[in-house]
Every structure is written in structure tokens, then in C-alpha cells.
Amino acid sequence: MSEAAPPPPPPPEPPLASSPEGSVSGLQTFYDRAGGLLVPIAAALLAFVIGGIVVLITEKSLSAPFEAYQAIFQGTGLGWFIPGGDTAEEARDLQQTLLITTPLILTGIAVAFAFRCGMFNIGGQGQYWVGLLTAIWFGTHFDGMPPVVHVTLALVAGIFAGAVWGGIAGLLKATTGAHEVISTIMLNWIAIWVGKWLLEAPDGFLQGTDPSLPRSDNIFDSAKLPAIWGALQPLHAGIFIALFALIVYHLLLNRTTLGYEVRAVGFNPDAAAYGGISVKRNYFLALAIAGAFAGLAGAIDMVGWKYRLTSTEFDANFYGFTGIAVALLGRNKALGILFAGLLFGSLIVGTSPRQLDPEVFNPELATNLATMIQALIIAFVGAEFLILYLWRARRKVGIGPKRAAPEQG
Amino acid sequence: MTEPPLLELKDITKRFPGVVANDGVDFDLRKGEVHALLGENGAGKSTLMNILYGLYHPDEGEIRLRGEPVRIDSPHAAIDAGIGMVHQHFMLIPVMSVAENIVLAMEPRTGPFLDHGKANERVKEISERFGLAVRPEAMIESISVGMQQRVEILKALYRGAEILILDEPTAVLTPQEALELFEIIRSLQAEGKSIIFITHKLGEVLEIADRITVLRRGKTIETVPREGATEEGLARLMVGREVLLQVEKKPAEPGEPLLTVEDLRVYDERGLEAVRGLSLEVRSGEIVGIAGVDGNGQTELVEAITGLRHIDSGRVVAAGTDITDKSARGSLEAGVGHIPEDRHRRGLVLDFTLAENMALKDYCEEPDSKWGWLFPKRIIARAAKLLEEFDVRGGGPQTPAASLSGGNQQKVVVAREVSRDPRILVAAQPTRGLDVGAIEFVHRRLVAERDEGRAILLISFELDEILSLSDRILVMYEGRVVGEYPPTVSEDELGIAMLGGRREAAA
């Protein structure tokens, strides 16, 4: 440590521990801990406030933001948890919210796992698509298979496909040093265009029986996940798989040697290499495992409720990208990803025009509001240092007397 | 004394949240003296000097200059009062010339433009007056660290400094450069300048200071004249207890060779040959010290032995296993322990807990894990035992490594490496940045490990350390071993060899 650095506070007792790091980073640990919850919550609140201001300006009414948020909340079905609501309608909305939350949790894990290895996986979207496309093929073949076997096969195939897609980026990084941000973005586009080609091209590999439609066949009933709640578009058992995946994620990261290596590489590749850990191997494995989670998300969506794919959906489905926001807001923690997934799932469902009374809330504004809030949350979580700084400044003002800014010597 | 001292700091108190950095500190400086401010890291030396230089404002106490109270509330005010400071990290602009850096902010001008001729002339003038030879036209980035320090001193003198604060000035210098710096300090003294010399190195204090003030935990412990001061006495004042400066050790009893390096060739990042046909041998029960100026291939040698760098040609054999160009894991499994030169970059994962750091090399083996499944409780229990055994303070097994002091962090590294029971221990700069107490601990531990029969390869830029610990000394220069010496060799002789002065056949 530089002796010119500011306050060198000697800890009271041990004569050997008299270097400045002691209590300074003790303070830092506190901020980090506070920041663990403070930043995501502050970011989400701030995003909602700014979203509210936008509503206020466009609707030119003071009560509009409150009405809008109330309408969104109603649309999410979260009121089902509050005693005494219209349970039938709220149950139906909540089913949809959880239906969307399921893939978001999984794509969130896909981003978070790579994060913990020090990489930014932008490829969740592409990995989601290859998982989904693979599940279509397995779901539309093997007629007559026992249901449990068939659906498991489709899911495992989706996991595997996602792992390959993520693994390609990992392999490129490990062998040539190609940056994962670039390669995963490229792989997204490859997945999207290959997917379109499979559905749209004459005699496309996945094209359904009606060649005039860019659409796959329905998967067989034996390849569908069982419904667990609701009737029309019911919640399926995939939500349990997603919750189980959160547990797997947590244990894999914290209780296995693989997770230890991944975290060591993510925090400090030099020290990891010094400890005998192969950094390259972990880059590859981390992206492959991340891809597996995103691939599972796609496969679950296919066997859980979509059952077939129309090529126009490539331009409308962004669950893979939303996973980035989920991981950021959830701070790469299993519990955080659960709640962040639920928040974004609620936003998407709550603002979907189908749920809203156009008298209360202009439908165009509604969907855009969801995207906007999502973007603001990402921006604010990214700007965590700004929020921490404001937080600290507030504390400083409270303390009072003018304090010389600690200047770095 | 009829005349008041040139500078007096009286009863200075400075509090930071949760800590009193300076607690009623008294300090005075007489005209024309070199006054050393001695203390461990975190004793409050830098805080006090930052107050004097106007970077901090004291909560209590006053500063008197020639008997008059003064208020110094910015570095600008300090400069106006004739106080100059040379920081440990230089504040120079690398792409500008020496003269430009020196006259910065007080440039001689012709119209709105810098008068280069006049600037060079003035710089030459003061550099000759104080005997600090520099080339005014040279670019900062192209001159040595020692030269850059001269430029910093000249900058202070150019701005009219009568009082010069030197903050740990020798930390960045080679032994030869340090000697030159002492010459410069003496000539400044002869010109009537007064100097405050901040350090935690005892030898330097006795070499250069007229008086010595010792700070410990923010308080003035004592001010003593150099006459009669001893290293032991000063160390006791600094640490607050008896410190064994001289490592006690029995004569070495070398056994069979454990580490053999033959004709090793290794390239550095830039693709230049850093180790050029180096051979050495370390036997069990001996410490072989490698002396040399930084950048002569020591880092690359260590990385090659520990499997962190590709070996171009040659051979490394550790305890009978050929580990030439094996991975880091191959090297450590062959029994090579490694205390890395940079504990922040390599030695520790700062965001990991101490327990996780202790497991950095064992996480994949029983009892820490089995079939890929970790057992955190066992890891924590083992770490708790090691933390106690190695007297690591400032946290338990669950504390993040980042929140420990440097000395305790180094103890964690040493504990991990030693507890793996390696046959060979490569210790690179094992005491860099540590203070007296922690250095004592590490040194004693290394000697104890030697007595256990390990082969220890010690790499250090501190000649003191090499001389007091080694049983044999190899001097490394430009990627080769250029001489072998017994530990009784004089510092001068080693210093000359380190600069390539004499070449002998490698042993």
C-alpha cells in the first residue's frame, strides 16, 4: 500500500495489523453489503419513478401514473396473493406471469453463471433459440414414446444444444482469445437466421405439413410438460424446473470444485492460474454451462406452452436478452434472480395490451413503458457506483463539518 | 535555544471516521537538518505530512513556521510557505521533457508561449547549484526512476522550497541509486535546506538523519538524535516490543539437491529473452538467495519454475520429477511451493474469504472436496487452525481477504504454501511492503522451513534480506547467474555484481 494514500487508520489492538486496509475496506464491505440490496432496490424504484414521470407527461394528468401502475399491477395477477381479490381473473393473470417468469429465471442464470467467471454472456438469446429449435425437432419426432421419456428427451436435447452454442463462444475465447461479447452476439444472429431458414425455406427442416406457412408442426402430446394450474393457457410444470435450476445454480457455484474454479477465475484469473486452475478450460465450461441453462429455457417454452413455432416470433421474443437484466438486477445470486425474474415477468405480462383497459392506459405506451423501465433498471444497476456515491454523500452531509476530500497522494 | 525551530507541528490531532490517525503529534524541524520520521505502515507518518503539505486540515493543533503560526490549507499555500514534497509515486508527465515538468505551472514565458531556452537554462542553473545532474531536454518516460526522483526534487527546489518532504524516497530505488540520493540529500543540507525524510527502514535512518522522530499508532513516541541510536532501539520504539532484526539461524546442513535448473531459456511478454541459459541448484536444508536489480529475469525465472510461463529450452527438475514446461498444477504437485511476488495479483483472490484462499491449491483434493463436491465446513475448520497457527490477525476464516492488512495477507499466503508441506519453496519478494514485525515473522518462518529440510529459493531486491537469510547468494544479471557468493560478502561487492560489474562463471 502506498504510504501517501489517505487515512491510514491503525487498528487498536494488533501491532502487526497496522496497515490502512483494515478498517477502510471494512467500511467498503459494509457498503458492499448495503449495496447488495440497496442498489437493485434503488435502481428499480428510480426506474418506476422515471417511468411514472413519462406517463405523467404523455397523459397530462397527475393521477395517470398511479392509475397506470395500478392497472399494470392488476394485470400481473400478483393481487392473487392478497386476500379478497377477484381470484378467478387474478389467478389467470398470475398463471401468465409465472409462465413468462420461468424462462426469464433460466436465461438470467445463463447470464449470471458466465458473469461469475468474469464473462458477459450476451448470447442467452441465441442459446435460447437453439434450445427451442432442438426441442421442436425432438418434440415432432418419436411418436408413441412414453410421455415422461419423450418430454425429458426434448428438454435434455435443448440443454445440450444450448451448451454447444455457448460452448462455441467459450472455445473461441479459450483458444483464440476472441472476446465473448462479440462472439455471442454473432452466434445470436446465426441462431436467429438459421431458425428462420429452418422454418421458412422450401422444405425447411422444421417446417410443418402446410408448406405455405412458415411454421412448425405441433409437438406430440407425449412431448408436452403437464399443466399444473389453470385451463386456457395453463401454468406448466416448467416453473418447478426453473426453481430447481436455481438450486442447481447455487450449489454448482458454491458447493462444487467446478464452481470454486469458476469463481476464482472470475475474480482473479492470475491467482486462479497460480492455484493450478486452468483458466481456459473454465472459460469454455462456464459458457457451455451458461448456454445449457438458456437452452433449457427455450426447450421448456416449447414443450411447456408454445408447442409450435412461427417464424415471426423471432422478431418478438426477447427472453434471452431480458435474462441480462434479470442477472444484473438479481446480482447473480439465486434468490436475486428469482425475484428479478418475477419482476420482469410481471412487467411484461402486466403491460401486455391484452390485459389493459385502453380507457385507463394507452396500450402503445404500456408495452413501451415496460421496455423503458427495463432499460432504466439496467442503466441504474450499471451505474451502481453513482447510487453508492449519492448514498454516501447523503451520509456525509448528515455528519456535518467540512471534510477535506481524501486526495490520492 | 534562543532561535525557534524552522518548523514546528504542535499537538496535531487528525481524526478520520472511526480512527485517530494523528493523536497529539509534536514534531519540529531545525534549519539545515535531516529529520527522519520513522514508523510502521499506518503509524500516521503520511497523514502528518499531508497535513503539513496542506492536503488535510488538522482537527486540533497548530503549525508554526519560524515561530509564527501559519495556516496551510492547500498545497499551493505549502509551496508559498517554502514547503516542497516529493511523493512516493511521482507526479510527472511522461511525455514532457525534464525541464517542462520542472517549470510546470511557473513557466518562464515569451508572450503566451513557454520559453524553452530560458526554462532549460534555469533548470541547468539549479541542477548545477545543488549537484543534481539531469538533462533538461530528456523525456521523462525515457529516464530511469532514480532520475525521475531527481526531477521531482528539482521541481520542489525550483518552486523555492526551503523544507523538503521526501516520502519513502528509497522504496523505488536500487541500492546504488539510494546511495546517490543520500549524496544529494547531503548536498542539499550543505546548501541550507531542511529535509523531512519519511521511512520505515532503519538502516537508512541511521545513515542519513540528524534526528529521528518515531511515530506509533498516531502518537509521537520519542525524538532521538542519531548519535547513540541503534537499529534495535529504533525497532523497539517503532513496534513497541523487542524485535529480532538479525535472523537467528544455525549453519545450513544442505542435503541432496531438490531443485535443479539447467540452461533455462524463457521469454517475457514482449517476446524478449528474459532468462538466458540460467542454471542453478538448490539443496534440501539451504536457502539460496538470488540478488539482482528488478527486471533482470527474476520474475520470468520464478514463473518458469512454477509452471506459469512457457519454457523455451532447458530443464527444470523438482524433487526428482521433470517439471519442464508442466502446468502450474504439475509444478505444485511435484512439491514446489510458491510465495508469489505480488500477493494481490497472484497470491490471493481478494474477493474470496480467507478460508477459500487457504484452499486455493487444495480445493480439488480430500479433505476439502471429494468427487467434485466441496466441504466448506472442513475448509473453514482447516483455515481456522492455520490462521491461529500463523497468527493471522484482523479476521476469521469467513473474512474477505481484501480486508486484511498487507502483513496479514502475506501470512495467509505463507501459511497456505508452508502447510502444503512442499519439498521446495520459491519465495519471491516475500516481505515486500511489510513492516518490521511482519518481516520478522516471515524471515523466521523461512529459516524454520529450511531447518525442516526444504529447499528454499529466495528472490529479493532487498540486499539486507538476501544477506541475512541466504546460505548461498547467486547474483542474477540480464537473465544469467553472474556470480556466486557466500553470505559473508560485502554489500558493495554484491551491488557491483548486480549492475553487471563483474562476471564470473556461474557455479
pLDDT for residue A26 is more than 80: no
Stretch A202-224: mean pLDDT:
87
Cβ atoms of residues B423 and B285 within 8 Å = no
- Report CB contact under 8 Å: B402, A260: no
CB atoms within 10 A of CB A398: 7
Q: What ipTM does the predicted assembly reach?
A: 0.79
- Report CB contact under 8 Å: A409, B352: no
DSSP A283-337: HHHHHHHHHHHHHHHHHHHIIIII-S-BGGGGGT--HHHHHHHHHHHTTT-HHHH
Helices and strands (H and E) in chain B: how many: 16, 24
Cβ atoms of residues A197 and A311 within 8 Å = no
- Report CB contact under 8 Å: A4, B89: yes
What residues in chain B have per-residue pLDDT under 70?
1-2, 18, 244-245, 501-507
Question: What pLDDT is attached to residue A168?
Answer: 97
- Report CB contact under 8 Å: A255, B441: no
The CATH code belonging to domain B7-239 is 3.40.50.300
pLDDT for residue A241 is more than 90: yes
Using 50, 70 and 90 to split pLDDT, how confident is the model at A387?
low
Which domains are assigned to chain A?
33-399 (1.10.3470)
Check residues A388 and B435 and name the one with the higher pLDDT: B435
| Chain B residues near residue A278 by CB distance under 8 angstroms | 327
- For residue B84 the three cell numbers come to 516542497
Cβ atoms of residues A314 and A192 within 8 Å = yes
Q: What is the percent of chain A where pLDDT is above 70?
A: 83
Question: What pLDDT is attached to residue B202?
Answer: 84
Cβ atoms of residues B206 and B407 within 8 Å = no
| Chain A residues near residue B88 by CB distance under 8 angstroms | 2-4, 409
Question: Smallest CA–CA separation between B433 and chain A, in Å?
Answer: 7
The pTM (predicted TM-score) of the whole model is 0.77
pLDDT for residue A28 is more than 90: no
Stretch A101-112: mean pLDDT:
97
Q: Measured in whole angstroms, how far is the alpha carbon of residue A294 from the centre of its chain?
A: 10
Where do you find CATH 3.40.50.300 in chain B? 7-239, 249-335+423-507
Question: What pLDDT is attached to residue A33?
Answer: 58
Instruction: Give the phi and the psi of residue A292 in degrees, each rounded to 5.
Output: -60, -40
Question: What pLDDT is attached to residue B402?
Answer: 85
Where does residue A372 rank: exposed (0-12), middle (13-18), buried (19+ CB within 10 A)? middle
DSSP A259-282: HHHHHHHHH-HHHHHHTT--HHHH
In single-letter form, the type of residue at position B50 comes to: N
Give the whole-angstrom CA distance, residue B4 versus residue B1: 7
- For residue A360 the three cell numbers come to 385507463
Query: From the candidates A1, A2, A13, A18, which should be mutated to test the interface with B, based on the most B CB atoms within 10 A?
Result: A18
Q: Does domain B249-335+423-507 bear CATH number 1.20.140.10?
A: no
| Chain B residues near residue A400 by CB distance under 8 angstroms | none
Q: If you search the block for the grid coordinates 440490496, which residue do you land on? A: A37
Q: Which of A17, A265, A314 has the alpha carbon at shortest distance from A117?
A: A265
| Chain B residues near residue A254 by CB distance under 8 angstroms | 374, 376
Instruction: Give the phi and the psi of residue A344 in degrees, each rounded to 5.
Output: -70, -35
> Which residue on chain A is closest to B437 by alpha carbon?
A16
Q: Measured in whole angstroms, how far is the alpha carbon of residue B92 from the centre of its chain?
A: 21
- Report CB contact under 8 Å: B345, A268: yes
- Report CB contact under 8 Å: B308, A18: no
Which run of H or E residues covers position B122?
A: helix B116-129
Q: What is the percent of chain B where pLDDT is above 90?
A: 47
- Report CB contact under 8 Å: A264, B360: yes
Where does residue B411 rank: exposed (0-12), middle (13-18), buried (19+ CB within 10 A)? buried
Interface size between A and B, measured as CB pairs under 8 A: 190
Residues pairing with B28 in the sheet: B8
